[in-house]
Amino acid sequence: MTSARSAFLETLAPHLPDGAITTDANALVPWLVDWRGRYRGRAAALVEPRDTAQVAAVVRAAAAHRVPLVPQGGNTGMVGGATPAMEGDAVILSLRRLNRIRSVDPAANLAVAEAGVILQTLNDAALEQERRFPLMLGARGSATIGGLVSTNAGGTQVLRFGTMRGLVAGVEAVMADGAVHDGLAALPKDNRGYNLDQLLIGAEGTLGVVTAAALRLVPAVAARGTAWVGVASPDTALALLRRLQAQTDAVESFEILPAESLRAVLAHLPDSRAPLGGEHPWHLLIEATASDHEDERPDALLERLLADALAKGLGDDAVVAASERQADAFWRIRDSISEAERAQGPATQHDISVPVPAMPRFMIEAAAACDARFPGTHASGFGHLGDGNVHFHVRAPAGADPERWYAEAAPGVTRFVHDLVTAAGGSISAEHGIGQMKRDELARLLPPARADAMRAIKAALDPLGIMNPGKLVPLVPDELVPLAPGTDRK
Ligand code: FAD
């Protein structure tokens, strides 16, 4: 270990409880690889503070000795943001031990949770007070509040409740010089200039360390209705969504998948069956909820509205789940698409968005453009149509050697998809963030005004460059190296 790292740990040790510093190489191993095993790094140590004051002590010591810090929550991120670089000079700062729910206030519809609280734990605590935190994602058993804030996470309820930017009412954070920013008062109105809370949301640990957040709650779900609909095209699907939204505000999920994704899941999942009879080119999973038993039940509401919509040609067939079990079976199909498609062979997967009205056309035309540009590949998209966000996959030609394809062809495919997205006015990262995976593509494609502003903010708030270096912030184009082989592989 270099003298800077040793001096850092010596400065820090009196401020942390026993067992909060780990330098043993074997014990560090699980912290050095990301969820999907795509990124590996090295680190000088792992530190695990238990409260905000201890986090501030870590950051002050890191600033004094110029030691890079890599904040880590549940390590479920998709873009290598929580994995240190291979240089090995960084220290992993785990927030998992900051795991107290400080308050749940059902009257104010607010909870204050520390960074290490797991999403599911927060939801369980809210449910005890007949409330919920309306963010749902597959990693809810591991993802932490600090990670969700720092990646501005979304999920399947963004349509109705927005991303973390809308769900966070205030942030407590340790800034890069060790100062504590306390935004937990959750003021509905506060016009004192730049919004530091919003800067920290989605900053991926590059500006400061989130230690707690005030989170907006909504009434718990009293009843839900879950429907499966067959439609002719994404265009019809969006027209159906617009009609439903004009008639009710109860719809909170609206997911689209092509017939081939459904087929892949049915082949992959034992005991699964198609929700509808007959062939349909596209499928929709729609969920509506009610928080009050006096409202028209959401399943009855969906029955009524879908019957009317189908009569007007906005769908070919529909079924509303008759039980919770059947609703869960519909969701299991949706949640298994990535896994089922992975079982089909190598593919590049792109978490992208375009303006909502442009998405139906993009799904068709971008897929055709990819298929034409890369003969033998096959492209398709599924996901959150109502958010203008789909997971756009390009499957390798049949029989392609996975390692070779990822190394030689995949980076070009990714650049092609990102160019199409940019030309459509969209974003190369809709919900997973930039991390290390998309940083160079961000530098290539982000408009200069926005890229320059990001670099200036980084330089102003983290002048020593100790906060999660190498992540998110785009380098100036001259410093770029070609996209790493295998980039954007899932
Ligand atoms: P980590 O992975 O530990 O860290 C993520 C980033 O945040 C890193 O850059 C890290 O340095 C930084 N960070 C972590 N904690 C802090 C902190 N306290 N202060 C400052 N920086 C911090 N994401 C979605 O948006 N929508 C989805 O639907 C979705 N589905 C998923 C499904 C599965 C099965 C999996 C594995 C992941 C999914 N994700 C999804 C991605 C992931 O769950 C989110 O990005 C989540 O927000 C990461 O939380 P985490 O605690 O695991 O953070």
Cα torsion 276, 283, 431, 345: sign: positive
pLDDT, mean of residues 291-309: 91
Q: In the prediction, which pLDDT does 253 show?
A: 96
| Residue 22, pLDDT above cutoff 80 | yes
Q: In the prediction, which pLDDT does 475 show?
A: 82
Least confident of 73-77, 343-347, 391-395: 343-347
Listed residues 219, 242, 275: the one ending a domain: 219
Sequence length of the chain is 490
CATH code, 30: 3.30.43.10
| Cα–Cα dist 79/432, whole Å | 7
Residue 476 in domain? no
Which of 34, 72, 207, 438 most suits a substitution to test ligand 1, by most atoms within 8 Å of the C-beta?
A: 72
Residue 460 phi/psi, 5-degree rounding, is -75, -40
Neighbouring C-beta atoms of residue 180, cutoff 10 Å: 16
| Cα–Cα dist 16/127, whole Å | 34
Centre of ligand 1 to C-alpha 164, Å, is: 12
| Cα–Cα dist 391/386, whole Å | 13
pLDDT, mean of residues 48-75: 97
Instruction: Name the residue with the closest Cα to ligand 1, atom 46.
Output: 148
- Segment (H or E) for 391: strand 389-395
Instruction: Name the residue with the closest Cα to ligand 1, atom 32.
Output: 138
Q: Are residue 148 and residue 71 in the same domain, yes or no?
A: no
- Give the pLDDT band (50/70/90) at residue 476: confident
Q: In the prediction, which pLDDT does 487 show?
A: 43
| Cα–Cα dist 30/27, whole Å | 7
Atom of ligand 1 nearest to the CA of 164: 25
What does the DSSP assignment read for 319-364? Answer: EE-SSHHHHHHHHHHHHTHHHHHHTT--EEEEEEE--GGGHHHHHH
Centre of ligand 1 to C-alpha 311, Å, is: 42
Q: Are residue 105 and residue 215 in the same domain, yes or no?
A: yes
Centre of ligand 1 to C-alpha 312, Å, is: 42
- Give the pLDDT band (50/70/90) at residue 480: low
CATH code, 235: 3.30.70.2190
- Give the pLDDT band (50/70/90) at residue 296: confident
**Would you say 429 and 351 are in contact if contact means Cβ atoms under 8 Å apart?**
yes
Atom of ligand 1 nearest to the CA of 472: 9
Q: Are residue 209 and residue 228 in the same domain, yes or no?
A: no
pLDDT, mean of residues 1-25: 90
| Cα–Cα dist 351/488, whole Å | 9
Listed residues 338, 372, 401: the one ending a domain: 338
Q: In the prediction, which pLDDT does 165 show?
A: 97
| Cα–Cα dist 268/339, whole Å | 8
Q: In the prediction, which pLDDT does 11 show?
A: 94
Specify which residues 254 forms β-bridges with.
286
Atom of ligand 1 nearest to the CA of 153: 25
Instruction: Name the residue with the closest Cα to ligand 1, atom 13.
Output: 147
Q: Are residue 214 and residue 248 in the same domain, yes or no?
A: no
Q: In the prediction, which pLDDT does 488 show?
A: 44
pLDDT tens digits for range 239-290? 999 999 999 999 999 999 999 999 999 999 988 999 999 999 999 999 999 9
Task: Please give all residues whose beta carbon lies within 6 A of any atom in ligand 1, as ranges.
Answer: 35, 70-78, 81-82, 95, 115, 137-139, 143-144, 146-148, 150-151, 153-155, 204-205, 209-210, 431-432, 435, 468, 471
Least confident of 110-119, 335-344, 475-484: 475-484
Termini Cα distance of the chain = 33
Atom of ligand 1 nearest to the CA of 34: 2
pLDDT, mean of residues 166-171: 98
Average pLDDT for the chain: 94
pLDDT tens digits for range 455-465? 999 999 999 99
Centre of ligand 1 to C-alpha 351, Å, is: 14
Residue 162 phi/psi, 5-degree rounding, is 80, 180
Residue 356 in domain? yes
The total of structural domains in the chain comes to: 4
- Give the pLDDT band (50/70/90) at residue 477: low
Listed residues 300, 323, 338: the one ending a domain: 338
Report the percent of the chain where pLDDT is more than 90: 91
Q: Are residue 241 and residue 329 in the same domain, yes or no?
A: yes
The 3-state secondary structure of 81-148, one letter per residue: CCCCCCCCCCEEEECCCCCCEEEEECCCCEEEEECCCEHHHHHHHHHCCCEECCCCCCCCCCCEHHHH
Centre of ligand 1 to C-alpha 91, Å, is: 19
Atom of ligand 1 nearest to the CA of 116: 18
- Give the pLDDT band (50/70/90) at residue 63: very high
Q: Are residue 199 and residue 234 in the same domain, yes or no?
A: no
Residue 438 in domain? no
pLDDT, mean of residues 418-431: 97
Centre of ligand 1 to C-alpha 404, Å, is: 29
Q: In the prediction, which pLDDT does 80 show?
A: 97
Atom of ligand 1 nearest to the CA of 72: 3
Residue 490 in domain? no
Q: Are residue 213 and residue 229 in the same domain, yes or no?
A: no
| Cα–Cα dist 83/90, whole Å | 10
Q: Are residue 228 and residue 329 in the same domain, yes or no?
A: yes
Q: In the prediction, which pLDDT does 474 show?
A: 87
Q: In the prediction, which pLDDT does 188 show?
A: 92
pLDDT tens digits for range 198-221? 999 999 999 999 999 999 999 999
Specify which residues 156 forms β-bridges with.
none
Atom of ligand 1 nearest to the CA of 154: 25
Q: Are residue 105 and residue 213 in the same domain, yes or no?
A: yes
Strands 101-105 and 180-182: unpaired
Centre of ligand 1 to C-alpha 76, Å, is: 5
Which of 150, 152, 341, 439 most suits a substitution to test ligand 1, by most atoms within 8 Å of the C-beta?
A: 150
Which of 137, 172, 334 most suits a substitution to test ligand 1, by most atoms within 8 Å of the C-beta?
A: 137
Q: Are residue 317 and residue 350 in the same domain, yes or no?
A: no
Centre of ligand 1 to C-alpha 75, Å, is: 6
Q: In the prediction, which pLDDT does 490 show?
A: 36
Centre of ligand 1 to C-alpha 401, Å, is: 31
Q: Which two tokens stand for residue 315?
A: 């769908």
Residue range(s) defining the domain that contains residue 79: 3-94
pLDDT, mean of residues 80-88: 96
pLDDT, mean of residues 56-84: 97
Q: In the prediction, which pLDDT does 478 show?
A: 61
366 or 482, greater pLDDT: 366
Atom of ligand 1 nearest to the CA of 149: 47
pLDDT tens digits for range 262-273? 999 999 998 899
Q: In the prediction, which pLDDT does 403 show?
A: 92
- Give the pLDDT band (50/70/90) at residue 189: very high
CATH code, 428: 3.30.70.2740
Which of 32, 78, 79, 438 most suits a substitution to test ligand 1, by most atoms within 8 Å of the C-beta?
A: 78
Report the percent of the chain where pLDDT is more than 70: 97
Q: Are residue 133 and residue 39 in the same domain, yes or no?
A: no
